[in-house]
Structure 1
Amino acid sequence: MQNKIIEEIIKEKLVVIVRGVESDKLISVAEAIYKGGIRFMEITYSADGSISDEETAENIKKLNEHFKGKMHIGAGTVLREKQVELTYNAGGEFIISPDTYEAVIKKTKELGMISMPGALTPSEIQSAVRYGADFVKLFPVTNLGAGYVKAVKAPLSHVKLLAVGGINLDNIDEYLEAGVCGFGLGTNIIDKNMVKNNDFDGITALAAKYVEAVK
């Protein structure tokens, strides 16, 4: 099952980051990106505690029950092992973090989920792989540019990199050419004003543009 999900991530190339969307709009937002062709979405935990971990896990569970396997749901901003366990119990399939934390990566793999920790330097990237990461989230990627990705990929060609942070329709091609196998996208698809105004068709259209861009 894990290998199948890894293959699907490489094929689809896009994981949409959902942060700060009210619980009562979550299904509508998820349906909107699904209609646009997105098949992977992450629901982020709240690092500042403004939303409880239990509520986030409940949202993951709610989405899983709604989509019944049609959409792959995972968690983002995972900083603690407890959050990994909550995600697993909610039916989550993957764990994404902003950092390279050995305990989180190992707990993720122990529970049979896909691990995508964040890293930036070659040492951090390779540490993540040693701990068991399936993908490494290169974050924040656009602060350094596609040239950095290409330079890192030269000695670390075995690592499956996801580019996250500042990716848009104008630069997505150069990062694909630099060697990343996928992207994490947030407000470029989950537009805050569109969410506020219930413009779910607009969100679908944005999602479709990015799906087309990575074909």
Structure 2
Amino acid sequence: MKNKKIDIINEILKHKIIAIVRGVEKEKLIPLAEAMYDGGVRFLEITYSADGSVSNAETAERIKLLCEHFEGRMLIGAGTVLDIEQVELTKKAGGSFIISPDAYDEVIKKTNELEMVSIPGVYTPSEIRGAVRAGADFVKLFPATQLGPDYIKAIKAPLSNIRLLAVGGVNPENMSDFEKAG
């Protein structure tokens, strides 16, 4: 897999799935990620711990472990990124993308400055436009199943140029409905 930012964006558009890994013990990460890779997953999000149960340094170590193991075959990024320190730790660990629960301008700007893909969380059209103006490459619509495919279709009508990822409750049973919605 290529590792330039535009190549990563194109690969996300092609593969359409970023698997989220939260709370998995370090020694189980590689076997889990290998199983996902064998199943076709090419992007893996390792989440930072908002409650502090896992330190930022430990999360960055997990990202580094996976980046070194996969050597670009699977791209690893960080989720639940709340501040610039986490963006910098992710870059240093070899991460390719940053996913946040909100659209904090400083996180988006630092992510772009470090040439990683920026995917902030949004809920409303105003948040979507604000994130894109700040430099988001994609926006993460969360919680997707609470909003539903019809909401996505309605959002995409006036904002068809926005790269939108549905997150939260998306599963094999409803995935095609979200994909059809945009």
**Alpha-carbon distance between aligned partners in 1 of 2:47 and 2:147, rounded to the nearest angstrom:** 24
CA distance in 2 between counterparts of 1:4 and 1:69 reads 12
In structure 1, the residue matched to 2:91 is 88
CA–CA separation in structure 2 for the residues paired with 1:124 and 1:95: 17
* Distance in 1, Cα, partners of 2:60 & 2:160: 34
Residue 181 of structure 2 is aligned to residue 178 of structure 1: yes
Which has the bigger relative contact order, CA under 8 A and spacing at least 6?
1
- In structure 2, what is the equivalent of residue 184 of structure 1? none
Amino acid at match of 1:119: V
SS state at 1:14 partner: coil
Q: Which residue of 1 aligns with 2:14?
A: 11
Taking structure 1 as the reference length, what is the TM-score of the superposition? 0.82
Of 130, 134, 137, which residue of structure 2 is paired with 1:131?
A: 134
Please give the secondary structure, in 1, of the residue aligned with 2:18: strand
Q: 1:55 aligns with which of 54, 58, 62?
A: 58
Structure 1: gaps (5+ residues) = 180-215
Q: Which amino acid is 1:44 matched to?
A: T
In structure 1, what residue type is equivalent to 2:175? I
Deviation at residue 170 of structure 1 after TM alignment: 1.7
Q: How much has 1:134 moved relative to structure 2?
A: 0.3
Counterpart amino acid of 1:104? V
* One of 36, 46, 49 as aligned partner of 2:39: 36
- 1: CA distance between counterparts of 2:171 and 2:66? 26
Q: Give the aligned partner of residue 160 of structure 1.
A: 163
Q: Which moved more, 1:166-175 or 1:130-139?
A: 166-175
- Matches of 1:23 and 1:78 in 2, distance apart? 19
Q: Distance in 2 between matches of 1:134 and 1:27?
A: 28
- Quote how far apart the aligned CAs of 1:144 are: 1.4
Match of 1:100 in 2: 103
Query: Aligned-pair distance for 1:174?
Result: 1.0
Which residue number in structure 2 is paired with residue 204 of structure 1? none
Q: Deviations over 1:127-171 (max 9, x none)?
A: 000000000000001101111100000010010000000111221
Following TM superposition, the consecutive aligned residue runs of length 4 or more in structure 1 with deviations greater than 4 angstroms are: none
Corresponding residue of 1:210: none
Distance 1:56 1:77 in 2: 11
Equivalent position of 2:23 in the other structure:
20
**Which of 65, 71, 76 is residue 73 of structure 1 equivalent to?**
76
Percent identity of paired positions between Structure 1 and Structure 2: 65
The corresponding residue for 2:144 is 141
RMSD of aligned residue pairs (Cα, Å)? 0.5
How many residues end up aligned between the 2 structures? 179
Separation (CA, whole Å) in 1 of partners of 2:150 and 2:69: 41
| Residue identity opposite 2:118 in structure 1 | S
Aligned partner of 2:117 in structure 1 is 114
